[in-house]
Amino acid sequence: MTEESPATEPVPARVGAPVRVGGPPDGQGTLKDLSRSGRRAFSLPELDVPEAPVPADQARRDAPGLPEVAERDLVTHYTRLSQRNYGVDTGFYPLGSCSMKYNPKIAERVAQLPGFLLGHPHQPDHTLQGSLELLWRLERALCEITGMARATLQPPAGACGELTGLLIMRAHHEREGRQRRRVAIPDSSHGTNPASVRLAGYEALKIPSDARGLVDVSALEKLIDEDVAGLMLTNPNTLGMFEEEIERITEAVHRIGGLVYYDGANLNAILGRCRPGDMGFDIVHINTHKTFATPHGGGGPGAGPVGVTQRLVPFLPVPRIERDEDGSFRLDSEAPDSIGRMHGFLGNFGVLVRAYAYVFLHGRDGLKEVADRAVLNANYLAERVKEAFPLAHPDGRPMHEFVATARPLKEETGIRAMDVAKRVIDLGYHPSTVYFPLVVEEALMVEPTETETKESLDAFAEALLQAFREAYEDPDLLHEAPVTTPVRRLDEARAARHLTLRW
Amino acid sequence: MKFAPHTDDDVDQMLEAIGLSSVDQLFDRIPDTVRLDRALELPEGVSEMEIQADMEALAARNRSTDDLVCFAGAGAYDHYVPAVVWPLAGRSEFYTSYTPYQPELSQGVLQALFEYQSMICELTGLEVSNASLYDGATALAEAVNLARSAGSRGRVLVSAAVDPRYVDTLRTYGRGAGYQPEVFDVVDGRGGEPEVTDDVACVIVQHPNAYGLLEPARELFGAAHAGGARAIQVFDPLSLGVLAPPGDLRADIAVAEGQVLGNHVNLGGPYLGVIATRLDDVRRLPGRIVGETLDVDGRVGYVLTLQAREQHIRREKATSNICTNQTLMAIAATVYLGWLGPQGLEELGRQCASKAAYAAERLSEVPGVEPLFGDAPFFKEFPVRLPRPADEVRDALIERGYLAGVPLPDADGHALLVAVTERRSREEIDGLAMTLKEVLA
């Protein structure tokens, strides 16, 4: 290469060029519509033993109405459906609070190794030493990353991790002989927090945010008393900002004998910089898809490991993975104070395999760089769009994501955050999260993640600014959007009113 | 190995745009007192080749159903996964997407889930399904919450022939929800007489049960209804080509481990929690539900619906806290059921039942081995009594290439639960019987 590469001129918006991101607009029926009596895809070997039917009084009378299709139909149908779906592999996906970063392909490959994928959960421990060691090493790594003593890998998703942590909190108080009824949560929290609080048998106590978008610590100190079992908190919080008075918060909760629960939704922002354990948290859950790039599968599977400090170790779920003195690994269910089992087996093992690959690929420096770049990207993007979409809390420093508002735009033009989001779809992107957190009007919650290039951020910023300009110049573009997708805005009220939940 | 794409120039330019001079300044709101003043005690990062080698070495230290002839079941089964399933479910437009909050960009996942819900209804003979839960055990816990939310009744009766891992899961969830499951006895591995008083919310029966046996489900569910309780059935989706479905048996709520629907055994997860119920209870269902609707141009499309049940809208009043579910496994199940079709489902059930019956006969011919519960009918899994502790026999058979089954606590640890799927050939079954005979000799 003799030519110098161009220096500063931003590359045009190729990444976000208008394309039909959602597939062709012509609709298609369901698989049932392709069904023809007698057509089939399955093949099985001939039955090689005598036929033994089930007892007549237990037998099914009418065959289920499953589609009858050829394998070719299946392949075309679901390939086309996949083309009507937008994933991280399709393009930029700045869905705030969801951390839609690139999912490394190597993690997919190793998860398919037969020794992992085809292990039966009822095999005895001595035949599963590799998988048990993987889980043990992952547990140790997660404890180091979060500053906890031990962890369970069993919860199959973050919300289940929350319930696990709250049941541990409950077991702790019961052992101390305390009857406590409430758990404090900030008003900006994710909906799973109050829902988990109720499932754990507690009532939610709402803690207000202050003008900075942080926990109102004075209010917290006044509101909590010896009826409060603990506090659930994300840090960075749901507005994407670090709780600067975190030590005062955790001390206040400890003073009344409560425990502090770290919701790991935003752990990806602080990897290698600080640890929940060092801030005074007692219980931590991790969302592996957010922090360690396990793919989200269109809604799941996830994994929600939970770490605890030393005094809470007795309450962790069973079975646990222990290493014996001879270096062998075993599952241990002998733990009389354990809250019990949170999943039928060991949790979402296949997801944990991917998380292991991610953690050890990156290592200590790589994980820190994940946080550095995620925070850099979010701050850069916030800077590029804040003239049009001001930050909800302009004096704060965003971490890995920022919450902006379309309120000024709405006041001047009537264009709402949802209209902006739909227009952004026509400009080639998955939009940001909108209307969350609930405490910010017309919220646009943007999380670019660390795996996006500067060019990609510039192009997305241009798309947001273009939508902003169009709100004044040609608002119908926003009202009508999206027009490039296979379906346009859908009537959600109709879906709820005329329930059609099956063919 | 790192995936962040920034060049040094990028970082400089971006910092300049923000008005900062170093990346460290981005973290200046973190108090000094809580900062980590050292590197994480983790290894240095490695290359892709190195992580692959590390993980291949770990995987190589496992035995698996890849090298053992598998007769183990008890909630996870070695059914055949057709070639077509994962190349479709594993398309990255599906697996790298998030929960379909923007329906215009998510019609693929939404329609696949609508088809999944439809197929679960067809299978079970019930009216509504959701878009998946975590696994069979947690689906049962959600079903109990559903039943208990319907009125003031709070007690939960569960058959002693329900998978003990499921009952353990109920015990854990019940600590928060305010109940503990009460186990009613079975007679010779099945049946029993639940006392359904007017404070009982639900009666739980697994059919085929944890021993693989067929339950008198109609009678048990009839007893539940006579006492005004909901009947909950834990079922095997792949039994429903040959066995009467939960709806015909008059179950009110049916839950299942959906692993058998095109998902690998994967050391216990990710699996698929299946739940179906009657339309009357649709607003009590946990989790995502996909509904059909129209767009502004009148085209058919799909959205998440009845979201007022869910945590992101209703917060502490939600029917469940579930957010992330097992969508990708549900998509695999949909492709798998499309592959099977009604004839495939029936043929598969016929083969499992016939091969299990043949295996039971062959194993009973081994000296010292007999059925644990006489001639009780079963589907694809059955318990035998061994003359020696079952875990010892199981380990000896692993040495000889067979994962012979799952030891049960029954008969003082001399009972083994044997599962036979369509994958097992007559030769493999004969081989198991012959090898068991050698081991016991």
Q: Is the ipTM of this structure higher than 0.85?
A: yes
Are residue A349 and residue A200 in the same domain, yes or no?
yes
Q: What one-character DSSP code corresponds to residue B287?
A: S
Bridge-based pairing state of the strands A402-405 and A443-446: antiparallel
B287 and B388, same domain (yes or no): no
- Same-domain check for residues A113 and A259: yes
Q: Is A10 on the interface with B (CB under 8 A)?
A: no
Q: Which of residues 21-60 of B touch A (CB under 8 A)?
A: 23, 26-31, 33-36, 39-46, 48, 51-52, 54-60
Identify the CA nearest to B407 among candidates B389, B425, B422, B434: B389
Q: What is the CATH number of the domain that holds A427?
A: 3.90.1150.10
pLDDT of residue B1: 80
- All residues of chain A having their beta carbon less than 8 Å from the beta carbon of residue B395 are 124, 126
Q: Inform me whether the C-beta atom of residue A353 falls under 8 Å from chain B C-beta atoms.
A: yes
Checking if the pLDDT of A418 tops 50, the result is yes
- Contact list in A for residue B98 (CB cut-off 8 A) is 93, 95, 98, 100, 296, 298-299
Q: How far is A299 from chain B (nearest CA, A)?
A: 4
Average pLDDT, integer, range A191-212: 95
Same domain, B268 and B171: yes
The string of DSSP codes covering A437-496 is STTSTTEEEE---TT--HHHHHHHHHHHHHHHHHHHH-THHHHH---SSSS-SB-HHHHH
Search chain A and give the residue with CA nearest B270: A348
Show which of B319, B335, B351 is a domain's final residue. B335
Same domain (yes/no): B309, B196: yes
pLDDT > 70? residue A22: no
Single residue among A328, A361, A394 that ends a domain in this structure: A361
Last residue of a domain, one of A339, A361, A383: A361
Q: Which residues have C-beta within 8 Å of that of residue B279, sequence separation ≥ 6?
A: A499, B127, B128
Looking at the structure, do residues A253 and A178 belong to the same domain, yes or no? yes
- Residue A156 confidence (pLDDT): 98
Q: Is the pLDDT of residue A2 over 60?
A: no
Domain count, chain B: 3
Digit-coded pLDDT (tens) for A341-362: 999 999 999 999 999 999 999 9
* Among candidate residues B281, B304, B335, the one where a domain is terminated: B335
Query: Looking at the structure, do residues A455 and A339 belong to the same domain, yes or no?
Result: no
Q: Are residues B291 and B353 in the same domain?
A: no
Regarding whether B411 and B435 lie in a shared domain, the answer is yes
- Do the Cβ atoms of B241 and A64 come within 8 Å? yes
In a domain, A419, yes or no: yes
DSSP string, A124-170: -GGGBHHHHHHHHHHHHHHHHHHT-SEEE---SSHHHHHHHHHHHHH
CB contact under 8 A, A348 and B354: no
Mutate to test the interface with A, among B16, B26, B68, B85 (most CBs of A within 10 A): B26
Q: How far is CA A275 from the centre of its chain?
A: 19
Confirm whether B64 is domain-assigned.
no
> Residue B321 class from Cβ within 10 Å (0-12 exposed, 13-18 middle, 19+ buried)?
buried
Instruction: Please give the average per-residue pLDDT across A166-194, as a whole number.
Output: 95
- Identify the DSSP state of B308: G
Read off the amino acid at residue A226: E
DSSP state of A240: S
Say if residue B381 is in the same domain as residue B405.
yes
CA angle A444, A446, A448 (to 5 degrees): 165
Q: Mean pLDDT in runs of 10 for chain B (441 residues)?
A: 93 98 97 97 98 98 98 98 98 96 96 98 98 98 97 97 98 97 98 98 98 98 98 98 98 98 98 97 96 95 92 84 96 98 98 98 98 97 98 98 98 98 98 98 93
Distance (Å, whole) CA B294 – CA B271: 32
Distance from CA of B198 to the nearest CA of A (A): 23
B367 and B261, same structural domain? no
- 3-class DSSP string for A385-421: HCCCCCECCCCCCECCCEEEECHHHHHHHCCCHHHHH
Q: Interior CA angle at A363 toward A357 and A364, to 5°?
A: 150
- Statement: residue A6 has pLDDT above 70: no
Percentage of residues of chain A with pLDDT beyond 70:
94
Domain that holds residue A267: 108-361
| Domain termination residue (choose one: B335, B355, B381) | B335
Is A313 a domain residue?
yes
Looking up residue B75, the CATH number of its domain turns out to be 3.90.1150.10
CA distance B161 to B145: 21
* CB-CB neighbors (< 8 A) of A42 in chain B: 82, 339-341, 343-344, 347-348
**One domain for residues B141 and B166:** yes
CA distance A93 to B106: 13
**pLDDT band, residue A106 (cuts 50/70/90):** very high
Among candidates A244, A228, A259, A287, which has minimal Cα distance to A100? A287
Distance from C-alpha of A427 to C-alpha of B291, rounded to nearest angstrom:
27
**Based on the domain organization, do B149 and B251 belong to the same domain?**
yes
Whether A393 and A475 map to the same domain: the answer is: yes
Statement to judge: residues B185 and B111 lie in one domain: yes
Q: Same domain for B159 and B114? A: yes
Let me know: does B379 contact B420? Beta carbons within 8 Å: no
Least confident of A4-13, A173-182, A491-500, B135-144: A4-13
Q: Whose CA is closest to A463, among A437, A484, A442? A: A484
Determine, yes or no, domain membership for B426: yes
Across the interface, whether the CB atoms of B293 and A55 are under 8 A apart is answered no
- Whether A426 maps to a domain, the answer reads yes
For chains A and B, CB pairs below 8 A equal 722
Interchain CB distance below 8 Å, A339 and B172: yes
- B391 and A199 in contact by Cβ < 8 A? no
For A110, A361, B273, B307, the CA distances from B52, given in Å and listed in that order, are 7, 9, 31, 42
Which of B241, B233, B279, B225 lies closest to B257, judged by CA?
A: B233
> Is the predicted pLDDT of residue A12 greater than 50, yes or no?
no
- CATH number reported for the structural domain that contains residue A357 in this entry: 3.40.640.10
CA-to-CA distance for B288 and B124, rounded, in angstroms? 19
Q: Is the same domain home to B185 and B159?
A: yes
The amino acid occupying position B6 is H
Whether residue A145 is found in the same domain as residue A271: yes
- Answer whether residue A61 is part of any domain: no
Do residues A386 and A255 share a domain? no
Chain B CB within 8 Å of residue A60 CB: yes
Domain that holds residue B14: 8-53
> What confidence score (pLDDT) does residue B193 get?
97
Q: How far apart are CA A484 and CA A92, in angstroms?
A: 17
Same structural domain for residues A316 and A389?
no
| Structural domains of chain A, count | 2
Domain boundary among A315, A341, A361: A361
Say yes or no: A221 and A307 in one domain. yes
pLDDT surpasses 90 at A25? no
Please tell me whether residues A308 and A425 are part of one structural domain: no
B283 part of contact set with chain A, CB < 8 Å: no
- Do residues A400 and B26 make contact, with C-beta atoms less than 8 angstroms apart? no
Interface of B with A in 212-251 (CB under 8 A): 214, 240-245, 248
